Chains A and B, each alone.
Chain A
Amino acid sequence: MSSPEEKELELLIGPQHPASGHMRLVARVDGDVVVELRPNIGYVHRSVEKLAEVKKYLQIIPLVERPSLADTTANNLAYVMALEKLLGIEAPERAKYLRTLLAEINRIHSHLYGLGIHGVMIGSSTAYMWCFGDREPFLELAQELTGARLTYSYIVPGGVRRDLPAGFGERAEKVLRYMENRMKDYFDLYFNNPVVRARLEGVGTLSREDAIRLGVTGPNLRASGVAYDVRRADPYAAYPELEFDVITEEAGDSFARVMVRVREIVESMGIIRQVLRKIPEGPILHENYEKLIPPKTREVMKRKGIIKFPSVFANLRVPAGEAISRVEGGRGEVVFHIVSDGKPSPYRMRMVTPSFRNVILFEHLTKGARVADIPAIYGSLDYFPPEADR
């Protein structure tokens, strides 16, 4: 009789592996069954929190976006909201709606990114190409709104950087209609595919109790039947005035996690429609800052809808104190904690990203799963290694 140690094989998956991302997975397998899988993170550490201590407040905006390239708006928004709390200001209504608009566009293309990666992880290159192809119209919408493709840096203390371009509503409507038609194809070819169902249903089941105990957030939590969404629990931006449902699924398996994200895409499209219908007229920058802009520049700015920042922004001084903010990103709850001592740089900045809280699930869900389930579970978590290694 061989001892258990001899029976087991240690498999080092990643960081150089087609499906591991920038992460190493140390798996011990017994035949085809995973005995233990330990995620080993830290291969793309970006030291954002430490760098933030030597950068000025405004320079940190593009910095916090870097860790989560598919979901930059959530980090941008959460950081600026914490900053606004310290500054004691609030963005004007129109800016709040624009923030919501960008956040929802971002949520859609972040979810499509996750779904595409998940598709290729279980071997469907079609799902991968479709999702990445259909991200494009949303990226272009965001690009039109902000001028950047991925790292928008759109949200600044006191408002947003640009106004809504003319004719944005019609183009957005066109994109939304296209995506709604596309959804049918996705269900026909991918989500209702018997092989996809066989690979995902009942795989990596997370119970409601475990989900709460492990501190999981975002779609992964809602897939286990917990209706927790920061947009509802602690409303911010324009969310209190908008109508939307918190999507939940009961099963808690990989398929439920995928379904939550798919249904959230549909829900987000509804939010975008509401925002475009309800958006009020008015300034997009807080009056304190707007009046610092020279009158002539302000004229041009109002006409073009693009803000040229007042120079005070470069050396923005923030009163001493602490502030915490949280938003619902595409992958879950993003929390920012800023401690200020009155200098142009924060004394300490702390960010809690959803992927870091979700990576703990790996060890939990893969116990007793098959080797082939590792990528299926990995993809369904929508885990993004750089976001954990901030």
Chain B
Amino acid sequence: MDSLKLLFEPYIFIPLVFPGLIAAFALLLIIIWLERKIAAKVQLRYGPLYVLKPLGGIIQTVADLLRYLFQEPILPKEVDKVAFLMTPVLLFGLSYLPLVAIPVSPTYYAFRSDVSLLIVLALTTLAPIFTVVMGWASNNKFSLIGGVREGYLVTSYEIPIFLSALSMAILYNSLDLVEIAEAQRGLWGVFLNPIAAINMLLLMYMSTSRFPFEIPEAESEIVAGPYTEYSGIIYGLVMGASYVKLYVLSLVYSILFLGGWNPLPSTDPLVAGAVLFSKAFLLVALGAFLRAVYPRFRIDQAISIGWKIAFPLSLISIIISLLLVMGGVSFVGK
């Protein structure tokens, strides 16, 4: 009985169950299924619509998973073996890490810090380093180009994404995600600073290689970019990592702009968690839907979007926040 109670202690429950490992795994499966399903609807595909039709083609996901699990993981001869094998594991593990700092309800969190927003953003920024290492370790020109592309993109999306998030922190006068969500009891952040909201949504999809920004692993140009040499379950890990990162950023986005666990006036972690999860889920699903609509940008076009559009927009969003704060609009401590 004690051990069961221990499980529901937030510092175990949050990293492990929600929004942690298990929720992310479930979301991964649902989103992959949904992505195939949406794409199948738009693209007149048969497979995902008709495999086990009564269950909505859910078995397609199982088939995908089995394929990754049982595919032979090939280790090419000339690769840097340690880096080649360790980076996917580290990447996957690291992409989960930010989840500990994300609160589920005003009273339920693994740990609370004054700077939890910064912690989450800083930890998500670490992931691209491993992608670049992957590209280098594979000892393949296509991988190398993919890694370099990732490097280029990181520089063009990380700064605006930080600035957009910080513009909201200015508005709420806090870097604590609990306080930020609580400050939106009335008006949500997306209505206060729509420019920051649009900007961050764009950059969120850019940083997780959703279409039209699926540039590091552009299949028709550089095979699969940094992941060219990866196969089997180690490829499954790197693919999953980008979804997990999208999930993390969606949670942050929901807390920053969509009111977190509001509008339901409840401190019950279950209800609050469900609200938060469904908001994040919708954002992830939108990212999955984009695949059916857009082709991919060229690297120079994506970088110029990062610097010429997103960066000025993030500065403007900071100015908007400053004007609001100076105008006496206060959202602190309700």
- A residues with a Cβ closer than 8 A to B are 9, 11-12, 17-19, 32, 119-130, 133, 189, 193, 195-196, 198-199, 370-375
Contact = CB atoms under 8 A, between A and B. Distances in A.
Given A196-B295, A370-B300, A123 B42 contact: no
A198 B301 contact: yes
A122 B220 contact: yes
Contacts of B202: none
B81 interface: no
Given A11-B141, A370-B300, A371-B221, A122 B43 contact: no
Given A17-B223, A123-B211, A371-B222, A133 B299 contact: no
Interface in B278-316: 291-301
Contacts of B294: 123-124, 193, 195
Contacts of A127: 295
A189 B301 CA distance: 20
B222 to A, nearest CB: 7
Contacts of A198: 297-298, 301
B21 interface: no
A370 B220 CA distance: 14
A348 to B, nearest CB: 40
B44 A133 contact: yes
B43 A125 contact: yes
Interface in B24-43: 39, 42-43
A195 B295 contact: yes
Interface of B: 39, 42-45, 141-142, 145, 211-212, 214-215, 218-223, 291-301
Contact of B295 (A17, A32, A122, A373): A122
Contact of B145 (A17, A124, A196, A371): A371
B226 to A, nearest CB: 15
Contacts of A130: 43-44
A9 B214 CA distance: 23
Given A125-B43, A129-B43, A370-B300, A375 B295 contact: no
B296 A122 contact: yes
Nearest to A373: B298
A10 B222 CA distance: 13
Contact of A9 (B141, B215, B220, B298): B141
A61 to B, nearest CB: 34
Contact of A372 (B141, B142, B293, B298): B298
Contact of B297 (A19, A189, A199, A374): A199
Given A125-B39, A133-B44, A375 B292 contact: no
A179 to B, nearest CB: 14
A130 B301 CA distance: 26
A195 B301 CA distance: 10
Given A370-B298, A375-B221, 8 more contacts: A18-B219, A123-B220, A129-B44, A130-B43, A193-B294, A199-B297, A371-B221, A372-B221
Nearest to B141: A11
B220 A121 contact: yes
